[in-house]
Structure 1
Amino acid sequence: MKKWLSLLSVIVLGLILTACGTSESASGSKGKNDKIVIGYFPNINHVAGMVAEEKELYEQTLPDGTEVEYKYFPDGSAFMTAIETGEIQGGLVGPGPAMNHYMSGAEINIVAAGSTGGTVIMARDGSGIESPEQLQDSTFVSPRVGCTHDVQFEALMMREYDLKSDRLNGEMKHVTGKPATYSQLFASNRIDAAAVPEPWASKIEEEGHGKVLVEGDDVAFNDTLPAAVFVTSSELKENDPELVQNMVDAHKEATTFIQDNPEEAKEIAIKKIKDITEQELSASVIDSAWERIDFTYEVKLEDLEAFAAASFELEFLKEHPDLEGLVDTTFIEE
């Protein structure tokens, strides 16, 4: 009887150990990932995501058999929530949402950049506004309150022209809206000015509904701040650094492809933006937008810190920002 009980104990123990092993493998606790989801936005600053998808670059750098999916986001808040919940494993987002969520306690890391530039300050055609000094008492639009483009606009106005939004008891009225609708907002006289990310600035120019007030290096942080950054979770970075390296390698290859093959990259951008937004942009719009953007995966903490300090100065942040630990450049240095 004792022998039978002893044998039964061994069998039960073996089943328990087997079950534990199966559970660990399925949960990916050893860094095993059968599927990776990459996120990005359908705009020009995120062309690296489009090229990587079209050229299947993640499939080439990730372990054989890894399924790769893509998810497209309308704004940074939705993207960051997806990173924090594990819905996506990495991808491109604006630096503003990444920093804001990090300072709110999100365990995430910026491991590369995507591009710089691409923000244009524009005025409605027929508004009578010929220079930034004339924006007093105007209504301006940005994608979201405190987003990257909003901070760029308000920092420029406050520092260079002593103008403030109504949020700070200033003269300019602030509204929000999707950049793809700005041309219509100009055409209907609903706004006077806008902080516009490409390619929508070039689209407004082509349609004749607005004109450029400030562009290039004259826009706050346009020449230094990454307009898009590659983000992943700190947990994934710590538990599976090899996987994160695989993802960053694919992103770097996509960025290099854009630099070496701009015309083909433009064609990919036109196709992907149409697929995602159902809006087909002309080659001339893409050409114009391209001239205002620099595609790079290099990222520096000090550039992000300067931008975060401006966000605090503009009272988008309640506390002085501490970004120590946010940026990890080891993966782009490999």
Structure 2
Amino acid sequence: MTTARRPRRLTTAIAAIAAAGLIATLAACSSGDADASPKGSDATAQAPELRLGYFANLTHAVALVGVDDGTFQKDLGATKLTTQIFNAGPEAVEALFGGAIDAAFVGPNPAINAFSKSDGKAIRIVSGATSGGAQLVVRDGIDTAADLKGTTLATPQLGNTQDVALRAWLSDQGLKTSLTGGDSDVDIAPQDNSQTLDLFKAGKLDGAWLPEPWASRLVIDGGAHVLVDEKDLWPDGDFVTTHLIVSTEFLDKYPATVKELIEAEYQTADWISKNSDAAKTAANTALDKLSGKSLSAEVLDRAWGNLRITLDPIASSLQTSADHGVAAGVSDKTDLHGIYDLSLLNEVLKDNGQTAVSDAGLGQDK
């Protein structure tokens, strides 16, 4: 993998092209297959196959553990589970819109963009997965926001949740960024997380806003330090990092299969909560299988301690994430009413003796 630094204009031009491509893909869905979603389908119908996307990140620990140990396939029964790994949410959303997957674990902003650009037709958030586990980590010599002027920072992908969080935070600090190569105080270079680590270690990046374990890898393996822990920006430190989205067409046609997926998620999350050390090891084993490299004990311990596994999607934080996307220039202002359908999640919670969770008034009209 190359460690050469992209010229500033090239980086921002690539970002602009990526943004245009993503918006075009999302917009195409608004008048496409989403309108063909079957209504009134058999509530017991089983999908022959469920194609699930997730990331090789610890913020996707439920998927990492549940897929690898067979819990997801077991609870899906006769439905064949196939999986695909992505680097960030916009990439996974494009795959969902292109018909390559049926469901995905993603962050809030890609889900918001998918909902917005498809006029509320393409996807539903059906469950939470993780809170926390995202930080802005930087090189020595950067100790305040003012020190970031003239620097280059990385994020996993243009328009992904960490990219939006960074742009919104920089704006709050009075620092300009650009999507199109215009005048800016801080250059943002969206790229693959492994490339970010390599470039940071080579001294060709000044920092990055990343999910775990990548934030911890830059700290432990690259000598970075934390400038911003995202949880410090939220009330009680609670915000959605990862939730589960499903295509509306698949949800309408196969609600029983989606419920089985959520049940598998619940059983995995429950096991993780009761077996933290074993779960941490299991997640690391899954990462090793997916990436060919496990995390060191020091990185694993640090990263794992920054996460909270929860099926509550923390819906109360979603509007703020949407507002950040608008402020960052990567999202249009949109009415989020209808983005959640937590009915199946709350059935699973009730079946397991747990309390229902709230959609914060952004759920489906019944």
- Report the 3-state secondary structure (helix = DSSP H, G, I; strand = E; otherwise coil) of the residue aligned with 2:153: strand
Change (3 A) 1:73 1:247: same
Question: 1:305 is matched by which residue type in structure 2?
Answer: Q
For 1:313 and 1:158, how far apart are their aligned partners in 2? 8
Q: Is the 8 A contact 1:110 1:231 kept in 2?
A: yes
The CA deviation at 1:217 is: 2.3
Q: RMSD between aligned alpha carbons?
A: 2.1
The CA deviation at 1:195 is: 0.7
Change (3 A) 1:158 1:221: farther
Counterpart for residue 114 of structure 1:
129
Q: 1:144 aligns with which of 157, 170, 175?
A: 157
Post-superposition Cα deviations, 1:144-174, rounded to whole Å, max 9, x if no partner, equal 2221101111222222x22121447431112
Q: Is the 8 A contact 2:90 2:160 kept in 1?
A: no
Q: 2:139 aligns with which of 118, 124, 135?
A: 124
For 2:328 and 2:252, how far apart are their aligned partners in 1? 34
For 1:38 and 1:166, how far apart are their aligned partners in 2? 33
Structure 1 stretches lacking a partner, 5+ long: 1-28
For 1:62 and 1:158, how far apart are their aligned partners in 2? 44
Change (3 A) 1:97 1:59: same
Question: 1:162 is matched by which residue type in structure 2?
Answer: G
Counterpart for residue 304 of structure 1:
318
For 1:237 and 1:130, how far apart are their aligned partners in 2? 47
The CA deviation at 1:39 is: 1.8
Question: 1:302 is matched by which residue type in structure 2?
Answer: S
Equivalenced residue count is 301
Change (3 A) 1:166 1:54: closer
Question: 1:284 is matched by which residue type in structure 2?
Answer: E
For 2:235 and 2:161, how far apart are their aligned partners in 1? 10
- Superposed, 1:33-44 pairs within 5 Å as 33-44=47-58
Question: 2:136 is matched by which residue type in structure 1?
Answer: I
Question: 1:107 is matched by which residue type in structure 2?
Answer: A
TM-score by length of 1: 0.84
Q: 1:328 aligns with which of 341, 349, 353?
A: 341
Q: Is the 8 A contact 2:137 2:218 kept in 1?
A: no
Post-superposition Cα deviations, 1:173-227, rounded to whole Å, max 9, x if no partner, equal 1212212222321222211121121101111222243111111522468933311
> Does 2:266 align with 1:252?
yes
Change (3 A) 1:308 1:188: same
The CA deviation at 1:78 is: 3.0
Counterpart for residue 165 of structure 1:
177
The CA deviation at 1:110 is: 0.5
TM-score by length of 2: 0.77
- Report the 3-state secondary structure (helix = DSSP H, G, I; strand = E; otherwise coil) of the residue aligned with 1:227: strand
Point out the more displaced range, 89-98 or 284-293.
Answer: 89-98
Counterpart for residue 213 of structure 1:
227
Q: Is the 8 A contact 1:107 1:234 kept in 2?
A: yes
Structure 2 stretches lacking a partner, 5+ long: 1-40, 348-366
Counterpart for residue 91 of structure 2:
78
**Percent identity between the two aligned chains:** 26
Change (3 A) 1:294 1:101: same
Change (3 A) 1:153 1:56: same
